[in-house]
Chains A and B, each alone.
Chain A
């Protein structure tokens, strides 16, 4: 019986080795890791565009142990855009792990801070936050933060 178990394990060992190399093969297709997809949106107050509001974006990437931040300012129409943020990691490309990026968008306006978007991204796909749909937001400053699925904040997804 034990010999049979050993035989099984040796066969399994070969297969594991083969599979391990196959996993590494996948690294070919995984150069870029998206930690925050592009965001566009509009900030409104009582249905009126808010110009000059600062959109503060932060992320904390668990694998890379990296904290990053950038910002945008709304134009006369209350609109803003932030580009996608990518990182690369050789180990992160092929070592199996649970991707985890804490994402935060804050709106700073007239001395007040509004929670616009709080989300934990658990994949490296571009637009992976919304299952492939680009992030486009309508943020009404009078809204109370609330949960929409896994996303928390004052903004609605359009």
Chain B
């Protein structure tokens, strides 16, 4: 059973974009390649189209990928490659964040599932009367979500052993979906690569979860702790360059190195909050660490906070209110946790580039104020950016 290496998977995830508006023979007439030519046989019948767009209007039918049979040492194997977001209708599909039952019977992102359903019959038709040993599912971005749904369908149908390779993929289904898929495909056969500055793998939020369940994925980065950037999301050059010289074990090792133990998070927080310690305002790394610190503090305080949320807050309370309330409760948990929340507040002020309020007291109002400051600042920057870009 073959496993595509990171460079092969990345080349395939890139090449499939070339089929959005042209056939394979048209691509070949332009000297173009899909990145799978040495391993899988492609012709015009390999390409399939799919439908993306809004719920009612602005739909688009375009090439969404191809399915091909293996050749040479890949004889008896199949490749399913799906492209990611390339157009505005694709984004409308991304924004359709409802839940539908996916191919394996568990709740998944409605927009992704609608696109999948639009071409699923072609996948089924290709596999009829075939008995592949292995099916490789590859995709980037929305294509990664579609590859994940493909893996869900193919593993549920027991069409063959499935291997899943995704780059910068968003969360495709809820926790049950991720757990079920992982149990059928096996975490060792799922290669989820994500760039630490890429915003797409961070969406959609709860209750969606990444597959493989319980595994961190394979983070890659540009090494500068730069701001979160949509440029980090591009397959070419971002992901292509990021995996250019790495093997899967190499990516796994880098992932383990990047894993932050609670001890490391605490050390970082103490160091960043220390007087005179420089914290770069607006840094994606600091923002990421603020998130980890919040998670760490809340998990340290245990379930006490969530347990009583419903009693303490009205239904109209915002996510911000909930977080403020939980941090406030966590601070009451013990002196030690209160110290961590204080340090968190210090780091948020540093991130904002604002002077620290003297004699702060961790009241609910104050914590809400700090979180609100963070949002206000980012929101006003965002609005300014939108206005400027619209000129």
Contacts and interface: CB of A to CB of B under 8 A. Distances in A.
A60 B378 contact: no
A122 B374 CA distance: 34
A12 interface: yes
B381 interface: yes
A6 B83 CA distance: 32
B227 interface: yes
B375 A17 contact: yes
B382 A25 contact: yes
B390 interface: yes
B124 interface: no
Given A18-B374, A19-B202, A25-B385, A5 B319 contact: no
A16 interface: yes
A22 B206 contact: no
A31 B233 CA distance: 18
A7 B298 contact: yes
B295 A7 contact: yes
A3 B389 CA distance: 41
Contacts of A20: 199, 203
A107 B259 CA distance: 54
A11 interface: yes
- Name, among B234, B379, B385, the residue most crowded by chain A CB atoms within 10 Å (CB to CB): B385
Contacts of B68: none
Interface stretch (B41-49, B107-115, B184-192, B301-309): B301-309
B242 to A, nearest CB: 15
Contacts of B199: 19-20, 23, 96
A120 B389 CA distance: 26
A16 B389 contact: no
A102 B21 contact: yes
B386 A90 contact: yes
Given A14-B323, A27-B389, A98-B17, A21 B379 contact: yes
A14 B371 CA distance: 10
Secondary structure class of chain B's binding surface, majority of residues = helix
A49 to B, nearest CB: 26
A98 B85 contact: yes
A15 B288 contact: yes
Contacts of A145: 31
A3 B229 CA distance: 31
A98 B141 contact: yes
Contacts of A90: 386, 389-390
A6 to B, nearest CB: 6
A24 B295 contact: no
A11 B87 contact: no
B272 interface: no
Interface in B159-207: 175, 198-200, 202-203, 205-207
B323 A23 contact: no
Contacts of B21: 60, 62, 102
Interface string A82-124: 0000001011011111111010100000000001001010110
A95 B284 contact: no
A13 interface: yes
A90 B388 CA distance: 9
A123 B237 contact: yes
Interface in A1-55: 3-28, 30-31
Contacts of B91: 91, 95, 97
Interface in B311-336: 319-320, 322-323, 326
Contact of A94 (B206, B326, B389): B389
B4 interface: no
A115 to B, nearest CB: 8
A146 B384 CA distance: 47
Contacts of A27: 385-386, 388-389
B319 A10 contact: yes
Interface in B268-321: 282, 284, 287-288, 290-291, 294-295, 298-299, 303, 305-307, 319-320
Interface string B69-96: 0000000000000011111101100000
Contacts of A8: 295, 298-299
A-B complex: 5 closest residue pairs judged by Cβ atoms:
A152-B31, A15-B291, A9-B206, A21-B378, A24-B382
16 contacts: A8-B295, A9-B206, A9-B207, A11-B291, A14-B319, A16-B202, A24-B382, A24-B386, A25-B378, A27-B388, A27-B389, A96-B233, A97-B84, A98-B234, A100-B17, A120-B17
Given A7-B295, A10-B323, A26-B231, 17 more contacts: A7-B303, A8-B299, A10-B206, A10-B298, A11-B291, A14-B294, A15-B202, A15-B288, A19-B202, A21-B375, A21-B378, A24-B385, A31-B388, A95-B230, A104-B30, A122-B14, A152-B31
